[in-house]
Structures are given as C-alpha cells and as structure tokens.
Amino acid sequence: MSVLEQGSVMPATLPQVAGDLAAADLRAALAAGWRDFLAMPRFGQFFGGVYVLAGLGIGWATITGGNLSWLIPAIAGFPLIAPFVAVGLYEASRRREVGEPLTWRAVLGALKGHGDDQILSMGVIVFVAFSFWMIIAHAVFAIFMAGSRMGGETLAALMTPPGLAMLAVGSAVGAVLAFAFYAMTVISLPLLVERKVDFLNAIIASLKVVRRNFAVMLGWAEVIAVLLFVAMIPAFLGLVVALPVLGHATWHLYRRAVV
C-alpha cells in the first residue's frame, strides 16, 4: 500500500486547470445538472429540502427574535452555505458519472472526504464566512441607522433615506464578499470530493480557475445568484429544485475546469 493510500500524505502539487472556459460550458453544465437531478431526484430533493428547512429556520429565528434588521442580511448571506450543502450532490454526480453505486451511505459520507478533515475544514470556513457577513451587515446597519428614530423592529425603516443608503452599501459590500467566497469554493469543494488534496491547495486551484476564466466564472456566479434569489422568493420552496440542479451543474463545470 502506498503512502497516499495510507492517508498520511496528500499531494502537494496543484491540479492543472483549464483557461479556455466559454459560455457554452455553462449551458452544458446546466443541462448536465438538470439530467442528474432527473436521474436521481431523491438526493436532490433531500439536500434541497434540508436547505429549505435551514432557510425557514433562519427566517423564523430572526422574525420571532423581534429584530427584523437581521432578516435581510441573514437571507442575503444564506446562499453562502449552499456550496457546503451541495457536497453530497457533487458525490452523487461523481458516482453517476463513473458508474459507482448510488447509496445514501456513500452520498452522505462524502462529508467525511477521503478519511481526513479537509471537507469539514471547508465547512468551518463556510460557517466563519457566514458569521463574518452577519457581523459586517450588522455594522453597516448600525452606521446608517444610528441617527434614525426607527429601529430594526420594522421593515419601514428600510424605506427611509438612511435605510436605502444602508441597502445600497450593504449590497455592494455583500456582493464583494460573496464573490470572494464563491471564488474560494466553486472548484475547491468538488475537487476535495474527487481527489485527496488539502483544502488550501483546493482553494488555490479554485482561485486559479476563476482568475484564468474570469468572465465566464463571473457569469456562473451571476447565474447562481439569480436562480437562488428567484427560488427563495416563494418561501424558499424553489430551492428544492434550484439547489440540486446548480449543485450537479457545478460538478460538471468543475470536471470541465480541472484537467
């Protein structure tokens, strides 16, 4: 048995990544993601359902907590956890691609990675990113609404000049943070599912793909943002379909991006 098989050493070299992604690759990835969803809907509906319940739980907690100022940043930052939720979908697509058995134990076990803590380490990063966004959003709220007589207990405060300014600045800051997080995870998590690499090298590979194919990967980020936003409008219920399709599609885009 090799050293790698024993799990003591992981490869330090970065995988080769493509630099010629095109819009056609995004369309092909979405089509492949839709086919995967139709071929194994039980996995997609399960992970989509978990995501919906998490969204409803966040919404319920912020509303019943009596401070609606947390509701918008919580909902806006909610998509940050989608890549980690989609890990099982990456594994399902991988198994379908290579013809391996599709079992719940195998798909759910994808979170364990290759007997190491690399994917779970990425999960910690996801949690920290979401927490950091909530702190930043609350700071933006405090800065702009400090001089307003209307507190966070009512959404009417958002229609005031300070509230509109807060939304504009918060959206700009959130977009920058969301794209930075997207660039770190869009390739790294599928890579960690398929290969035995450390999460730092996986993040570097992801950033490299985004840098080499910036326009296309920016377009993919926009597709994800729009579809998730639209799917969240009907009480998050559209995520039961949108999340798994995007998760499967991201796997196929990863397969195109990483040699």
The parent domain of residue 148 ranges over 39-102+117-257
Cβ pair 254, 94 in contact under 8 A: no
Residue 1 lies in a domain: no
Query: What whole-number distance in Å separates Cα of residue 230 and Cα of residue 225?
Result: 9
Q: pTM (2 decimals)?
A: 0.84
Query: What whole-number distance in Å separates Cα of residue 158 and Cα of residue 160?
Result: 6
* Helix, strand or coil, per DSSP, at residue 17: strand
Residue-by-residue pLDDT tens, the chain, 259 positions: 333 333 444 445 678 888 899 999 999 999 999 999 999 999 999 998 988 888 788 777 766 765 666 666 777 777 777 888 899 999 999 999 999 999 999 999 888 888 788 898 888 888 888 888 888 887 887 777 665 554 555 566 667 777 778 778 888 888 888 899 999 999 999 999 999 999 999 999 999 999 999 999 999 999 998 998 888 887 788 889 999 999 999 999 999 999 7
Residue 226 lies in a domain: yes
Residue 240 lies in a domain: yes
Residue 86 lies in a domain: yes
Residue 71 lies in a domain: yes
| Structure tokens given for 227 | 């579809």
Residue 22 lies in a domain: no
Q: How many distinct structural domains can be found in the chain?
A: 1
